[in-house]
Amino acid sequence: MKRRTFLQASMAAAIATNVYAAPAKRPRIILRSSWQVVNIGDIAHTPGVMALLEKHVPEADVTLWASGDFSDEVHHMEQKRFPNLKVVKGSIGKSGRASNADLQEAIDASEFLLHGSGPSFVARRDVGQYVAATGKPFGIYGITYGGSDAETIDLMSQAKFVYFRDTVSLAKGKKDGIKSPVMEFGPDGAFACDLRDDAAAEAYLKESGLEEGKFVCCIPRLRYTPYWLVKKGRTLDEKRHERNEAMKDHDHAPLREAIAKIVTETDYKVLLCPEDMTQMQVGKDNIYDKLPDDIKQKVVWREKFWLTDQALSTYIRSAGFFGLEMHSPIMCIGNGVPAIVGRFEEQTSKGFMWKDIGLGDWLFDIDQPKQVANYPATVLEMVQKPEQAQARVAKAQAVVADRQQKTMKMVRQCVGV
């Protein structure tokens, strides 16, 4: 073969080899998330983290390892946003084998397990069994931590990283001796939730007489969520019920006062809406029914539960949010909507993330009279000074986005991309 012919043949072979070489294997992450579906905020953890992975780790394939109550309705909603979403359920037994073939296949294929955002290290048992069965690495993303047993602390210390969604949790974790090599503040995954059902939101606003940009959302809350009303197998917790009854008027009085200020001092309306399945009745009993008739005329009470996509599409059409819940405010800030948070001693430390992202002036301890006294006026100011409110939101969003980028960079490193 002539030298020129040989070089041409060699080059063609090299090009062919480059073109037809098998693609590099995509890293596979198993996301352990989806804790319950009775609360739109708990639902939001999962699509939020998935949106972050989609944006920051697009090279990876992600399988959701969901909890048992992950419903077909929620699955369908999330699959509209993530068409390639693969979901598995089940558990790992003492033998180290999964309870079904789909979960076993996902476990075998995965290189890394990511525990999603939540009120705690929710799936510590599943994660521990995953590690024991496979020896594969894992990380914990955006949780609250209030203390745990020695076995759990040891497991958390084995994580490649533990991101706490509030710095109070971070300090507690360090104090308790968790020794993960990376322990930092990492915002709740729900900040990145971007589910939408614009058609449903617009239809509801039209039906309810609410004008886009001319209403404020308000969510009530009891000290303890009465899960016994909405979850099978739950029985009445008399002690918690008594506490709810004792504090419900105290806790909702500042919300009623804020509503009165909004509808009498501005031309805005108020939408009373739920974050969990019990709060429609909570809002009616403790706010709507107790308002004077002239105030009530400008208040809309939503009597049916909704899912995260319609709720978020409604929030982004509002002028802002206030109330006693946490994850609707998180979704609001993540999507550019002002949000004021009220909290009380029965809640975990998650509310303190508002200070961590620069919104300390919008965090109120309902158990502190001096803070409560300023609550209604602060809500009114949020409505009357939208430019100032938006500037605060933008600064908070910048803090969140910076932490999201840095925490996802660590995920990339752990999966080798």
Q: Tokens 């999330």 appear where?
A: 78
The architecture (CATH level 2) of 28-192+400-415 comes to 3-Layer(aba) Sandwich (3.40)
How many separate helices (H) and strands (E) can be counted in the chain? 16, 13
The CA-based angle 121-127-128, given to 5 degrees, is 105
CA distance 199 to 207: 12
Res. 151 pLDDT band, cuts 50 70 90: very high
**Domains 28-192+400-415 and 198-398 are alike in CATH topology:** yes
Average pLDDT over residues 371-376: 97
Note whether 320 and 337 are within 8 A (CB). yes
pLDDT(366) > 50: yes
- The CA-to-CA distance between both ends of the chain, in Å, stands at 43
pLDDT(12) > 90: no
pLDDT of residue 13: 42
Query: Considering only CA atoms, which of 304, 308, 222, 292 is closest in space to residue 257?
Result: 292
User: In 72-180, which ranges are continuous DSSP H helix?
Assistant: 72-81, 101-109, 124-134, 150-157, 167-175
The CATH homologous superfamily to which domain 198-398 belongs is: Glycogen Phosphorylase B; (3.40.50.2000)
Average pLDDT over residues 137-145: 98
Alpha-carbon Rg of the chain, whole angstroms? 24
- Tell me the residue type at 171: A
* Domain ranges within the chain, ordered by starting residue: 28-192+400-415, 198-398
What mean pLDDT, rounded, does the chain reach? 94
C-alpha pair distances (Å), 323 with each of 148, 184, 365, 375: 30, 28, 12, 10
Quote the pTM value: 0.92
Res. 22 pLDDT band, cuts 50 70 90: very low
Q: Phi/psi at 289 (nearest 5 deg)?
A: -70, -15
Over residues 331-341, the pLDDT tens digits come to: 999 999 999 99
The SS3 assignment for 28 reads: strand
pLDDT of residue 25: 83
